[in-house]
A and B are shown apart, each in its own frame.
Chain A
Amino acid sequence: MKKNKSIAFEKELESRLYDLAEAENSSVLISGDIRNEYLRKVNLISKKPVSKPILRRPRYWKLPILKELKMGTIATIMIILGLLLGGTTATAYAAQDALPTDTLYPVKVLTENIQADLTSNPDLKLELALQFAETRIDEINQLKEEGLMPPEPVYANLQMQIQRAIELATQLGEQSLEPALLQIRDRLQNQVQLLGEDSEDPVLLRTRTLLQERIQLVDTGLGNLNGFYYEAQNGWENTPLMNQGEDQQIQQQQQSGNASQNGVSETDPSETPVPGEGNGESGINGNPNGGSSTKTPVKNGTGSGAKP
């Protein structure tokens, strides 16, 4: 009898400590500097080139959790979304793990956009944009693992989030521009490393190219901070790298390849906008009420020429 009580209490204790860990995970984010330093060292000592792009973060890494950003904000967004969508708050929470193929994915992107809009601190806005970009890369990796081609809006959103981060960096003031650009470059370089060097894979190739283009742009900025700052103040429209660039060419090549091989075009970006981002070239404040449809991705090998 006493033993039974003891076992029951141990279960109770386990449940309490689990709840505590959950609450703590939602409250505190270890400094990104520690992670960056660790990954830098990994890249230095690694003998084997990265070959398996299977980095999956635990769930709490997907929520943009920051010390300064009270979880109350996220909870409020969830409740509002729940009410707006006629569902429950649980639906909005559940959407946080959704992939672009899931019905709830638009809710996830909508939540991100609202969260970005509600954040007034420019440093936090920048951090959020980087985290959302990393989430897109996670999604691309996960879809690839499942043998699915990521839909176009995911790439467009990834591009937009990085662009947003760069724009935000230029709004932090001249003094903060360099450290902010260095931070963006670090984070993008880490992602490139984690994607691996499997150049045969079109999904990885495309994502890596997209990231490398942005790193190149950031490097340009770091090489000429004043010029970069000036350009930012006068609009980016004429900066080729801020537009589609090489990524667009690859995209076009892939699409024409698909069309000619199968007579079926890949997902058309114009048909499937990601909520809140318009056509991928929107400014800092995208329209959170944009379209919400997501097309089912094409299985590898059936439409993309990708390896199965």
Chain B
Amino acid sequence: MKTMQPADIEMLRSAQQLDAVTLARIYEEYSPAVYRYAYHLLGSLQTSEDCVSDTFLGFLSKLEAGKGPRENIKAYLFRSAHNWIVDFYRNKGNQNISLNEDFLDSNSSVELEAEKRIRLGETIKALTRLTLEQKEVILLRFSEGLDIREISRIVHKSPGAMKALLHRAINTLQKELKYEEK
């Protein structure tokens, strides 16, 4: 498990003391990542915003009640978002919402060079081949840089099960992206 950096410890302590600047900074620092994570798993901008809103407001409520994160704020926020998403699917009858592949085209990629666009398209397409669980651990591991133990806490699985899940997901992506070492 990663050792907490002094800055992280200080941030956690200040958050527990309800320091306004620290709490504002936490939102600025982590909300985009939580939003992306939610979007990849929910496939809807509006629902992802609901998830971010509930995650961060819930975080404040917990802190106010003297609860909330005890170690890693980032992992705590992702765990809250994960729980929200699980509840969402449970309430919706486990419908499989996939990532909208037109997302980049419709919003921003006008200025991207062709090669980059193709590469991004491949990545998005490959991600859609994963199960929701696989996609989640891939994002947490490779996009957010969390370690196996942190991820296993977020998704409530044992580190062993997590490794197996991650391994299968990597294999799928490797095939999908037709990866050959150069």
Contacts and interface: CB of A to CB of B under 8 A. Distances in A.
Interface of A: 4-6, 8-10, 12-14, 16-21, 23-28, 30-31, 34-35, 37-39, 41-43, 45-58, 60-61, 67, 70-72, 74-76, 193-194, 196
**Which 3 A-B residue pairings sit nearest by Cβ, starting from the closest?**
A75-B111, A72-B110, A27-B108
A275 B53 CA distance: 38
Interface of A is mostly: helix
11 contacts: A13-B170, A14-B142, A19-B119, A20-B120, A27-B108, A37-B53, A42-B20, A47-B18, A50-B19, A67-B45, A76-B111
Nearest to B145: A14
Interface string B24-56: 110111011101100100000100010011001
A246 B118 CA distance: 55
A10 B20 CA distance: 38
A43 B35 CA distance: 23
A204 to B, nearest CB: 12
Given A5-B181, A10-B142, A30-B49, A72 B111 contact: yes
Interface string B92-112: 000000000001100111111
Nearest to B37: A21
A17 B123 contact: yes
Contacts of B29: 58
B124 interface: yes
B60 A41 contact: yes
A19 B36 CA distance: 13
A242 B125 CA distance: 53
Given A37-B57, A58-B28, A58-B32, A193 B112 contact: no
Given A13-B142, A34-B56, A46 B19 contact: yes
Given A12-B179, A70-B108, A17 B142 contact: yes
B138 A42 contact: no
Contact of B116 (A19, A46, A56, A194): A19
B137 interface: no
B20 A48 contact: yes
Contact of A23 (B31, B39, B112): B112
A16 B123 contact: yes
Given A10-B170, A67-B107, A194-B21, A30 B57 contact: no
A15 B139 CA distance: 12
Nearest to A41: B60
Interface string B1-34: 0000000000000000111110111011101110
A43 B63 CA distance: 13
Nearest to B104: A23
Given A18-B143, A23-B109, A38-B60, A45 B18 contact: yes
Contact of B27 (A14, A19, A38, A56): A38
B81 interface: no
A55 B109 contact: no
A5 to B, nearest CB: 5
A71 B36 contact: no
Nearest to A42: B23
Given A34-B52, A37-B53, A38-B56, A28 B18 contact: no
B174 interface: yes
B162 interface: no
Contact of B119 (A16, A26, A27, A55): A16
